[in-house]
Chains A and B, each alone.
Chain A
Amino acid sequence: MVPISYYLVLSAILFACGVLGFLIKRNVITIFMSIELMLNAVNLSFVAFASYWQALSGQVFVFFVMVVAAAEAAVGLAIIIAVFRTRQTLNPDRVNLLKL
């Protein structure tokens, strides 16, 4: 019998790690992976709550999240490849042609 709050705390820690990585990493692919980590953390809390409230639709929602994450990963990586072709770098600080 694990209290629900344990699951939620775990989810929160993973989410915080995801945000941290999103902020401090200088490789755009790693940033993207941090985003995936955030999504996973949220998935975990969805499943925990589904179990807590005995509602299966929570798990269905996780299913949809995964679908969207897959689509987003595909398109996002395609964009990264396109950017890499023009800017020859994976450092987001170098992709700064809009900077004043």
Chain B
Amino acid sequence: MILWLIPILPIIGAAINGLLGRKFSNRTVAAIGLFFPGLAMVYTWWIAAQFFPNPHTIVQTFYDLTWIKAGAFSVQYGFQLDQLSMLMALIVTGVGFLIHVYSVGYMAHEGGYYRFFSYLNLFMFFMLTLVLADNYLLMFVGWEGVGLASYLLIGFFFLRDSASAAGKKAFIVNRIGDFGFLIALFLMIQHFGTLNFAQVFDKVNGLPAETAGAGLLTAIGLLLLLGATGKSAQIPLYVWLPDAMEGPTPVSALIHAATMVTAGVYMISRSNAVFNHAPIAMGAVAIIGCATAFFAATIGLVQHDIKRVLAYSTVSQLGYMVMACGVAAYSAGMFHLMTHAFFKALLFLGAGSVIHALGGEQDMRKMGGLRKYIPVTFWTMTAATLAISGFPGFSGFFSKDEILYRAYLHGSWGWILWLVGLITAFLTAFYMFRLWFLTFFGEYRGDQGHDQHAGREEHHGHAPHESPKVMLIPLVILGILSVAGGWIGIPKVMGGSNHFEHYLAPIFEQHAATSAQAAEAEPTAEPSGPPELLFSVAATLTAFAGIGLAWLFYYKRRDLPEKLAAGLHGAYVTLENKYFVDEFYGAAVVKPIVLGSTYLLWKGIDVGIIDRTLNDSADAARDVSRGFRHMQSGNIRSYAGWVAAGAAAVVVFMIWRGAR
């Protein structure tokens, strides 16, 4: 097996489409855009077929080339295949390919078709580099590259100001996180002399756990966390993800639901050795994940744009994954990552199908009763909504349950995490079913046959119609996965054997002897027993409560939402305006920088010092020559005077020399 072929295949497609695609027809572009990722996906399956019988770590270098060599420090183009990266590669290529297929239909009427597929393939290349890298630096290349692809794709409709602004915002906010990541890398180079995963984790495991306070590993952990908050949209750097909905819906599905935003979670899981030795950092991870999950869920309650609801839902679910990593339940976090990739991608693609059906309408207040018109979309989205709400039997149920249970078990304050996570599950169920009811039930509240100028596409309006088959087939496949995808992680207490956790166990087991948490009841093998069943029941009941409340508000008594909003007006306005976080960042961060740049750097230094120096030296030259000009006055007698003066000077000099 050649590991580096997996990322290279998509970039060949990206290059062909990017350089030559302008002249190709849509069919050719789609063929190329699907062929290479599809080939990568099949090749990954082939590798998986050889890998699963005997999972072990395989490291390959690209033709033994050394990338950087600086004294004792060197970095290779190395690719690593172990259980974790195999899982991620399967998710990325599989879900990615399905979304490529979907895009063939969704973007069919858009301009820049070739550009879209080129960027999508480019994204696949970078994401696969990220997950298959065997050292932090190559991972960082992929990390930055997916940020670039995200920028290009969010701002795909670049003629629209809001879209290009959203793209810039995404890239800049990501950059802040990347700054933290880079500093962590520098610390690693300084103290470990290497960035290779195996070597770094060896060294980290040799260090004692930092229980007494902050130290090197805590610093590295917190900085890596900063990077993860940027890429995985956690507090405080989540603000780019809702704006990223300006991009086409397949982009939101692929990048901002299934793959790129999970890069942060993957990175934390990969660096589990560091976090296991730095309890403070790990605690910070858990707190941020939990807070983000709750915070985003509250905002999602009152949003009107269907994609915004899903965006905040993504932030919230990512919070669950991060929280899982923060309680050392890494396999639970990865499990939720996988199931979330299935049902969130399905939700976004389904939302895209809805939007496509309505000719561009995204406001849920103008939807309703659509289940008659778009049945396939309706049933697949139902599956996804049930999955995300944690309905028993669906994939999300198993993954979310495991996270909540492990959170409860973590230390003395884990129950707080569990409680907040439970409330968030209630809110999740509520707002997802709110979306479901508003979109598919009741009377159709939209404008019939009206050309939507506010719509995102050029589709002319007519009665809602089902999407073409090329868009529906991925929906169906993802629907099946949303239902069945969780069955590989069924815990023992319910009769399964939790293949998933055992599969990932070797990756997360390296620390057990030295971790400070070893004393707690937190072995990697789960303590499955009746208590877990109790928690599952509790979680299920909260999910039902959320569903029931949504049924009440949005099906039975449709007047209740307005009454509640009027009653709690202040809270409602705060939630609707996303807690004014964007405005706060604008005033507290952006405005001072802009003011500083304008007055200090631009007017003060650039104009005042640099320009002034140049201008003043030019002016000085001019003034000097203006002074000398008086010697050339055109007046003969002044010339005579100058001659006499010069002669006198010479004579004086000669006398003076003669006198000495």
- A residues lining the B interface (CB < 8 Å): 19, 22-23, 26, 31, 92-93, 95-100
Contacts and interface: CB of A to CB of B under 8 A. Distances in A.
Contact of A99 (B634, B640, B641, B644): B634
A93 B635 contact: yes
B633 A99 contact: yes
Given A23-B640, A26-B637, A92-B636, 8 more contacts: A22-B640, A23-B641, A92-B637, A93-B635, A93-B636, A96-B634, A96-B635, A99-B633
5 contacts: A22-B644, A26-B637, A93-B637, A95-B636, A98-B634
A34 to B, nearest CB: 10
A100 B633 CA distance: 7
A19 B636 CA distance: 15
A98 B635 CA distance: 8
A23 B634 contact: no
8 tightest CB-CB pairs across the interface, nearest first? A99-B634, A98-B634, A92-B636, A96-B634, A92-B637, A96-B635, A23-B644, A19-B644
Contacts of A19: 644
B629 interface: yes
B619 to A, nearest CB: 19
B634 A97 contact: yes
A98 to B, nearest CB: 4
A5 B636 CA distance: 35
Contacts of A93: 635-637
A95 B638 CA distance: 12
A92 B644 CA distance: 17
B629 A99 contact: no
A98 B644 CA distance: 21
Nearest to B636: A92
A38 to B, nearest CB: 11
A36 B648 CA distance: 19
A65 B633 CA distance: 32
Contacts of A98: 634
Contacts of B629: 100
A95 B644 CA distance: 20
Contacts of A92: 635-637
Nearest to B641: A23
Nearest to B647: A19
Contacts of A22: 640, 644
A73 B133 CA distance: 98
Contacts, number: 27
A96 B633 CA distance: 8
A31 B637 CA distance: 10
A98 B639 CA distance: 12
Interface string B637-656: 10011001000000000000
Nearest to B629: A100
B634 A100 contact: yes
A13 to B, nearest CB: 15
A75 to B, nearest CB: 17
B466 to A, nearest CB: 87
A19 B647 CA distance: 10
Contacts of A95: 636
Nearest to A92: B636
Nearest to A96: B634
Contacts of A96: 634-636
Contacts of B640: 22-23, 31
A22 B634 CA distance: 17
Nearest to B638: A93
Contacts of A99: 633-635
A25 to B, nearest CB: 9
Contacts of B634: 96-100
B146 to A, nearest CB: 68
A31 B629 CA distance: 25
A26 B635 CA distance: 12
Contacts of B641: 23
A31 B644 CA distance: 13
Nearest to B633: A99
A89 B549 CA distance: 112
A37 to B, nearest CB: 14
Nearest to B639: A92
Nearest to B643: A22
A36 to B, nearest CB: 15
A66 to B, nearest CB: 22
A68 B629 CA distance: 34
Interface string B178-221: 00000000000000000000000000000000000000000000
B390 to A, nearest CB: 91
Contacts of A31: 640
Interface in B583-642: 629, 633-637, 640-641
B627 to A, nearest CB: 14
A93 B636 CA distance: 7
Nearest to A100: B634
A40 B629 CA distance: 34
Interface in B347-373: none
Contacts of B633: 99-100
A99 to B, nearest CB: 3
Interface in B207-253: none
A19 B644 CA distance: 8
Contacts of B636: 92-93, 95-96
Contacts of B644: 19, 22-23
Nearest to A28: B636
A99 B629 CA distance: 11
A23 B637 CA distance: 7
A23 to B, nearest CB: 6
A96 B638 CA distance: 11
User: Which has the most chain A C-beta neighbours within 10 Å: B629, B634, B636?
Assistant: B636
Interface string B31-52: 0000000000000000000000
Nearest to B634: A99
A91 B231 CA distance: 88
Contacts of B637: 23, 26, 92-93
A30 to B, nearest CB: 12
A26 to B, nearest CB: 8
A92 B638 CA distance: 10
B186 to A, nearest CB: 64
Nearest to B645: A23
Nearest to B635: A96
A17 B641 CA distance: 14
A8 to B, nearest CB: 13
